[in-house]
Homo-oligomer: A and B are copies of this chain.
Amino acid sequence: MEKIYTIKDIAELAGVSKGTVDRVLHKRGKVSEDALKKVNEVLDKIDYQPNLMARSLKKKQIYSICVLIPDSANDPYWQPCIDGINEAKKEFKSFNVKVEIFLFDPTSTSSFVETNKTVLNSSPDAVLLVPLFHKEAIDAIETYNSKGIISSIFNNQLKSNTIKSFVGQDLFQSGRIAARLLDLLIKKGTIAIVHIDEDYENAIHMQEKEKGFRDYFENLESGKFEIKTFKVKHPQFKTTLKEYLESNPAIEGLFVTTSKAYQVAKIIAKKPEKKIALVGYDLLENNLEYLNNKTIDFLIHQNPKRQAYLGTTSLIEHFIFEKEISPEKLLPIDIVNTENAKDYFL
């Protein structure tokens, strides 16, 4: 256990006052070359670690972090995010940080824009957001950046060099995993990728998952599988899918790229004459129900709670511990079946 040095120690070792040491440490100038040298010599010899307790006790500044996430009233997928953020808040409650959650309607672009405006008005030190709307998110982040506000994103990837950090999963790989699981479930046959409820062109996550999924089978070269894509939006969903399945009786497996696998499960559960393998995303209650009755074979866990937690803590720790924010944090892609589902609710 090596000695812990304080500013006072350094001052004594260098033969100057603690004020001078402080000026050197913070590069505030007003230090003679002679004194600078003396202090730096000591600093080179020892490993000075400022006492963060003392620092944050003294510093009056309260850092403000705003988190923008979709309202879970519209999509239960987002519910765990709140828990993750609150967990981070609780963990750092004694520190000088204020974390505020702002909800927007995931079905409304203008709601997203408006919420960003509100956030901007409160002029926070950092913003963590889910960039659900590509163009609008880029704009918002640009604005934050121009005001010196740090922005991080999670859940959805976005290419922008003003973003400090992304927390999420490798969606291409995620698609490959789904492919591997379906490869295992059915040894051959036709598989349909089902994109529901979101606009394919605007949903990069769907595209990435599809790419990864197809990539797996292309490299397999077995020729045992045929992959199709099926896109559908909500209102007409039920009948459309039913028709699609009836006109494609060769389909042995389905890969649902969103958290809406339960909607598909509802339909294929009614056709017990033939078990269709089904892989989807996210541990929503509805999904778990069909996982447990084995209509859904596997769910891939995107761990929104942990994403939100890590996104928040990395910002908090940046401010209070001066930790660097890692530009990309990819979470493991958890494979969930009947047996380990409950483990993921910590």
> Interface of A with B (CB < 8 Å)?
1, 49-54, 56-57, 93-95, 98, 170, 173, 176-177, 179-181, 184-185, 216, 321, 330-340, 343-344, 346
Contact of B333 with A177 in the complex, beta carbons under 8 Å: no
Cβ–Cβ contact B51 & A177, under 8 A = no
- Which residue in chain B gives the minimum CB-CB distance to A336? B335
**B49, A93: Cβ atoms closer than 8 Å:** yes
Chain B, residue nearest A95 (CB): B53
* Known A339-B173, A340-B335; contact A53-B57, beta-carbon cutoff 8 A: yes
13 contacts between A and B (CB under 8 A): A49-B94, A51-B94, A52-B94, A54-B57, A57-B57, A173-B339, A173-B340, A180-B337, A180-B339, A184-B185, A331-B343, A333-B343, A335-B340
* Contact assessment for A343 and B337 in the assembled complex, using a CB-CB cutoff below 8 Å: no
Residue with the highest number of chain B CB atoms closer than 10 Å, among A170, A343, A346 = A343
State whether B337 touches A177 (Cβ < 8 A): yes
Which residues of B have CB within 8 Å of A334? 332, 334-335, 340
Contact A335–B335 (Cβ < 8 Å): yes
CB-contact partner of A343 in B93, B184, B332, B340, under 8 A: B332
Q: How many copies does the complex hold?
A: 2
Cβ B1 vs Cβ A98 within 8 A: yes
A50 CB → nearest B CB, Å? 8
CA distance A170 to B181 in the complex (A): 24
Can you name the residue of chain B whose Cβ is closest to the Cβ of A58? B53
* Contact status B335-A337, CB under 8 Å: yes
Q: Which residues of B have CB within 8 Å of A338?
A: 180
Say how far A23's CB is from chain B's closest CB, in angstroms: 22
Query: Nearest CB to that of A54 among chain B residues?
Result: B57
Least Cβ–Cβ distance between A317 and chain B, in angstroms: 9
Inter-chain contact A177/B57, CB cutoff 8 Å? no
Closest approach, in angstroms, between the C-beta of A132 and any C-beta of chain B?
24
Chain B residues positioned under 8 Å from A184 (CB to CB): 184-185
Residues of B within 8 A of A181 (CB): 337
Nearest CB in chain B to that of A170: its residue: B343
Closest to A343 in B: B332
Please name the residue on chain B nearest to A181 by beta carbon: B337
In addition to A177-B339, A184-B184, 14 A-B residue pairs with Cβ atoms within 8 Å of each other are A51-B57, A51-B94, A53-B54, A173-B339, A176-B339, A180-B338, A180-B339, A181-B337, A184-B185, A330-B343, A332-B343, A333-B340, A333-B343, A334-B334
B53, B339, B346: the one within 8 Å of A94 (CB): B53
Q: How far apart are A82's CB and chain B's nearest CB, in angstroms?
A: 18
Contact: A177 with B340, CB < 8 Å? Answer: yes
